[in-house]
Structure 1
Amino acid sequence: MFIVSFKSYFNYLSYTVLGYAVNIRMSQSKYFDFLKQLPRVGLDNVKPNPYSFKRGKQHIGKNLKNSYYNKYSNMKKHIGFSYSTPFQKKIPQYGYNRETHLKRQFLPFTLWDLQRLIDLGRIDPSDPIDVTTIANARFLNLDKTEFNCYGLYLLEQGANIFEAKVNIEVQIADELSIASVEKCGGTITTAFYDRPSFLALCNPVEYFLKGQPIHKRMLPPQDLVPYYTDPKTRGYLTDPVQIREERQNLAEKYGYVLPDITEDEQFEMLTMKKDPRQIFFGLSPGWIVNLADETVIKPEEKYLVDHSVV
């Protein structure tokens, strides 16, 4: 029974080739001839089952009809949501806070603060004033976080009450503060100090206790050279002849009579300046200050003398 039914099953075959129904009743001898006439199975003639269905992937955010947010209409979209690229990524990035730790900062120092320290007796106006003088007056209180501070910025607040005749050296000064100092018969100079030199000025005792020779002050970097060579800012690298001309031009601009410091009794003090490589008044690079013996050791060898000459 099994053999007869197996042969009768192959006597009648039904094939579906390229969408066409082929019903063939053939004998056992014609079976292999029919298979030879059929095309080979390839990618060009294979088709999916018309009754099968495969569920596609859901693309969230690209199609509103099939999106995740369409199912939950009460859910709000997060800030910056976009169907393609978020808007915060389309905006170009600007380095507002880029390399902030490398930017030089200057502490504000107003004319009101200067006049107050003079009135309290903490600063003697008969001597040149620099960062060391202001630090000894207990005005500077550098914090450990102020690792990029490079000096003082003289501001114009208190220009209406300022009346002292001083010779002051700061790092940056605005125009009105310069006019206020020169109106009272004083002089002002803007000078650059590198970070080690500025720290030595802030605390000279700690610097001298190291027992090392006084180093040379570094020259200003390239971006600050135009400022310290400009006579309008009273830069310390400017020709003195140009500074005298700018003093007169500034007096004409603000409408005051410029005092003649050449006839002043304190002319020597008012014109006292540091060398561009000098840090302290009266001390040259290469010298050693001995606080215990209260002496200053000066070099005698020729090559050391040439190094220390400023």
Structure 2
Amino acid sequence: MLNGDGNMSSKVTERALNLIKSMPRVALNNIKPLPHTAFKKKTDRRGDRKKKGRGDKGQGARGTWDPLGYEGRQNPLIDTSPRERYYAQYAVRRQYPPVSLLDLQRLIDLNRVNTSRPVDITSICNTGLFKFDISKNHFGVNLTDEGCDQFAAKINAEVQWTSELVIAAIEKNGGTITTRYYDPQSLAALYDPLAFFKKGHPIPKCKLPPQDALLYYSDPNNRGYLADPEKVLEAREKLAQKYGYKLPDLEGDPFKEMLLMRKDPLQIFFGLEPGWIVNLRDKSVLKPKDDDYLRYYHSAQ
């Protein structure tokens, strides 16, 4: 009980303060480390010796180990062997997504590709089953030979890359094939012509192939679009003799006009010239008449 002057209350307070003064304070020397944060100090493997298990002398004690890849002679393997640059300029290589003859025959059987017209990259992309990405250096279609024995359609094909066996399989059925280069701007218009025409831009002129692809598209054996037509006819005869089939006569073929249709090297659409503007709203084609304009779109530069 408290008396009148409060002596008992002051004694309790004083006793509590004295007790707190004698208690330890929180400091770096009395706090406990967190779990898994204390590491045991490393010691030498052989007691208090200063060699640390490396020995007294020699290469091991001095730490002069052989560098990584050293083979014990003056000329290492990387210098004596020829260099094979598998990934040289990989980021700028042209890629050609594959489409097999088996896939093309299936699309024809399902009436998703019209064989009464030339089959080009636009015809294949309009099926909705083939896509390519220009940002990934995709430069068109690579027609592969899978299903060449089952291919039986007579078509006028225009692809960007193919093999000799594919050419033989198409020409055996009376068809024709051409390998053609398109620059990225032309490929963007060919991939989705409707979206391109809605922009109202003039049809671009196709650029010539780069230096490393010029030889391929000028070779008649590859049916390049820059090859001499007379040499292409000779190459057709030689290929028929090589694979042992009789080359059909195109002169008497009722689809001769369609099979022999070719684009100009600067042209990207059949029936439309570079520089024209397709007006979808009015369903008309705007053709330029200015001489400088025509000179630009009809020159290879």
Measured against aligned partners, the alpha-carbon deviations of 1:23-59 in whole angstroms (never above 9, x if no partner) come to xxxxxxxxxxxxxxxxxxxxxxxxxxxxxxxx99x99
Match of 1:234 in 2: 223
Shift in Å, 1:156: 0.8
The alpha-carbon distance between structure 1 residues 287 and 99, as it changes in their structure 2 partners (threshold 3 A), is same
Give the Cα–Cα distance (whole angstroms) in 2 for the partners of residues 161 and 107 of structure 1: 21
Match of 1:216, as an amino acid?
Answer: K
Q: Does the aligned pair in 1 maintain the 2:203–2:273 contact within 8 Å? A: yes
Aligned to 1:111: 101
Question: Offset of 1:95 from its aligned partner?
Answer: 4.3
Runs of 4+ in 1 over 4 A off after TM superposition: 92-95
TM-score, normalised to structure 2, is: 0.73
Q: Who is 1:249 aligned against? A: 238
For 1:111 and 1:237, locate their aligned partners in 2 and report how far apart those are by CA, in whole Å: 24
CA distance in 2, matches of 1:59, 1:100: 47
> Matches of 2:170 and 2:115 in 1, distance apart?
12
Q: Which residue in the other structure is 2:130 paired with?
A: 140
- Residue 63 of structure 1 is matched in structure 2 by 58
Letter in 2 for 1:66: A
User: Does the residue aligned with 1:154 lie in a helix, a strand or coil?
Assistant: strand
* Deviation, structure 1 residue 83: 2.0
CA, structure 1 residues 180+65, in 2 after alignment: closer, same or farther (shift >3 Å)?
closer
The one of 140, 149, 153 aligned to 1:164: 153
Q: Distance in 2 between matches of 1:142 and 1:154?
A: 14
Evaluate the alpha carbon distance shift between residue 260 and residue 100 of structure 1 in structure 2; reply closer, same or farther with a 3 A threshold: same
Q: Report deviation, 1:67.
A: 5.3
2:285 pairs with 1:296:
yes
- Are 2:188 and 1:199 equivalent residues in the alignment? yes
Number of aligned positions between the proteins: 241
Structure 1, residues 259-303: CA drift from partner, whole Å, max 9, x if none?
001111111110000011111111100000112222111112233
Aligned to 1:155: 144
Could you tell which deviates more after superposition, 288-297 or 134-143? Answer: 134-143
Q: How many angstroms does 1:306 deviate by?
A: 3.7
Residue pair 2:132, 2:140 contacting (<8 A) in 1 also: no
TM-score with structure 1 length normalisation?
Answer: 0.71
8 Å CA contact 2:274–2:298 kept in 1: the answer is yes
Take 1:103 and 1:231, find their aligned partners in 2: how far apart are those partners? 23
Q: Secondary structure at the match of 1:87?
A: coil
SS at 1:261's partner residue?
coil
Greater fraction of residues in strand: 1
Give the root-mean-square deviation of aligned CA atoms.
2.7
Aligned to 1:14: none
Largest Rg, 1 or 2: 1
Question: In the alignment, is the contact (CA less than 8 A) between 1:131 and 1:201 conserved in 2?
Answer: yes
Q: What's the secondary structure of 1:262's corresponding residue?
A: coil
Alignment of 1:5-44 (within 5 A): none
Structure 2 partner of 1:283 = 272
* SS state at 1:163 partner: coil
Letter in 2 for 1:103: R
Q: Does the Cα contact within 8 Å between 2:122 and 2:192 map onto a contact in 1?
A: yes
The answer for unaligned runs of 5 or more in structure 1 is: 1-54, 69-81
